[in-house]
Amino acid sequence: MTVTIETVLRWRDVAKVAEGAGLSLAPAVWARVEHASKVVASIVETGVRAYGINTGVGALSDTVVDRQSQTRLSRNIILSHACGVGDLLAPREVRAIIAAQIANFAHGYSGVRPEVVRHLAAFLEKDCIPDIPSKGSAGYLTHNAHTALVLIGEGRAKVAGTPMSGGQALVAIGLSPLTLGAKEGLSLVNGTACATGLSSVGLARAERLLDWADAVAALTLEAAGCQMAAFDETVLALKVSKGMAMVGASLRKRLEGSGIIAAAFGKRTQDALSLRSIPHAHGAARDVLDNSARAVDQELASVTDNPAVSGTPQHPVVSSEAHAVSPALGLAADSLAIALAQIGAMSERRMDRLVNPLVSGLPAFLASDAGSNSGLMIAQYTAAALGNENRRLAAPASTDGGLTSALQEDFLAHPTAAANKLLAVIDNAEYILAIELMAATQAHDFLAGTASRAAGTGAIYEMVRDRVAHYADDRPLGSDMEALRALLREGAPPAAT
């Protein structure tokens, strides 16, 4: 599969490229790239003063660089900005960043030569994944620089999973190292491609997670004998929320025809809030997801590097601006991380209700022989620990601030840090929901024979039992958690019938 940039990319396109799709540009888009590169060539010829083309960068923006040194400036920017540290980003995250970077160049305001874009597209086509450390970016420069290292034959990469030097990687995919021209070094480290790519991956994972959250919650609601009146369509419509209406409809469909629910009718006046307010919390998270998606699509539709070049080769225009700074992206990633941390916290509370004999009506800790068996007692500890970690991660990165480049860059929005935190929150939330799924399935084992499950929850139960057996303190429990977390990451839950 290949995604083609006709005008602009959207976050779903970037997510497809992250998962392995190729990326190409329509002829009109290639023409935009070529035109911008000619504008930069004209600026070099005429000597018009332009940031990052014939001046230094950051606090050195007023230092003029002579023509003979402009190519060296581009290379030096790459080398000096490649300051990332820590664990490497996952391949899909690197692919997403490269896709977002190509999308930015495709607007035709960056000034890189088409050859640069072709090299980046070849990385995607031929599975060349630059080594990009995950930490060290206060904005956007560091991660992008590590991709650019491989373009010039430096750094390291993996080709089809095999580690090698940047130079060896280029040989392996049939390319030669690039000699960068004026502005190309700056363009390659500039823009919001890193945060945009990572956020696109986060959106795809969050959307899948929320689908699973609804499915897992339905299985728990059935095991708990919930009171369905709280999820009636007319009742939920009293509070206006597109997301809440969607979740309510999903729960009703999954639980339709449940004998267990019917047998519990009228058993309680109302359920605990971790059960009764599922449409409200899950729906709010879906609304936040929609808002965050709009922000990422807005960023992909925007020129995000500085300066922007426009006009014509005869009358070039260089515009210094701040489009590489993206408070909107930081706020979007932070908001979604907070929403998903809340989803995980609610899931842990539901899981606790299933294992707690004081409220569940089921064997203590869902153990087959409580006392000699601990059942899922400590699994709840794990869920609680992960929920607590997500509360810490939910602290917004976008308000961190910071001063860099000798006061020239004295406001930082931290969109890349926010996107990295979002991915970490999703990691934890996947585990928490996997633990709830394990507990809900175990609870249903004890309800077998009392009444029938709904078809919608039965499909989920069978999917789980195809992967992990009933737990009887007969094996390390962590392996079951990993298996179910993998299930949540593989794809969508079974459709409600």
List, by residue number, the catalytic residues.
51
Q: Are 4 and 26 in contact (CB under 8 A)?
A: yes
| Angle subtended at Cα 441 by Cα 435 and Cα 443, rounded to the nearest 5 degrees | 100
Beta partners for 158?
129, 163
Note if the bond before 307 is cis, omega within 30 degrees: yes
Tokens of 194: 């890193």
Q: How many CB atoms lie within 10 A of CB 26?
A: 13
Tokens of 274: 């971790």
CA distance 66 to 60: 14
Q: How many CB atoms lie within 10 A of CB 43?
A: 23
Cα-atom radius of gyration of the chain, to the nearest Å? 26
DSSP assignment of 174-224: T-------TTHHHHHH-SSHHHHHHHHHHHHHHHHHHHHHHHHHHHHHHHT
Q: What spatial distance separates the first Cα and last Cα of the chain, rounded to whole Å?
A: 30
Q: Are 103 and 15 in contact (CB under 8 A)?
A: no
Question: With the C-alpha atoms ordered 386, 392, 394, 400, is the resulting torsion angle positive or negative?
Answer: negative
Q: Are 430 and 441 in contact (CB under 8 A)?
A: no
Residue 325's alpha-carbon distances to 90, 98, 271, 336, 397, in angstroms, are 24, 18, 46, 19, 14
User: In 3D, which of 470, 443, 259, 478 has the Cα closest to residue 354?
Assistant: 443
Helices (H), 324-454: 327-355, 357-360, 377-393, 415-447
DSSP letter, residue 471? P
CA distance 424 to 419: 9
Q: Are 276 and 232 in contact (CB under 8 A)?
A: no
User: In 3D, which of 213, 276, 274, 277 has the Cα closest to residue 426?
Assistant: 213
| Angle subtended at Cα 82 by Cα 81 and Cα 87, rounded to the nearest 5 degrees | 140
CA distance 222 to 451: 11
For residue 394, give the 3-state DSSP assignment. coil
Q: Which residue bears the tokens 């004026």?
A: 182
For residue 129, give the 3-state DSSP assignment. strand
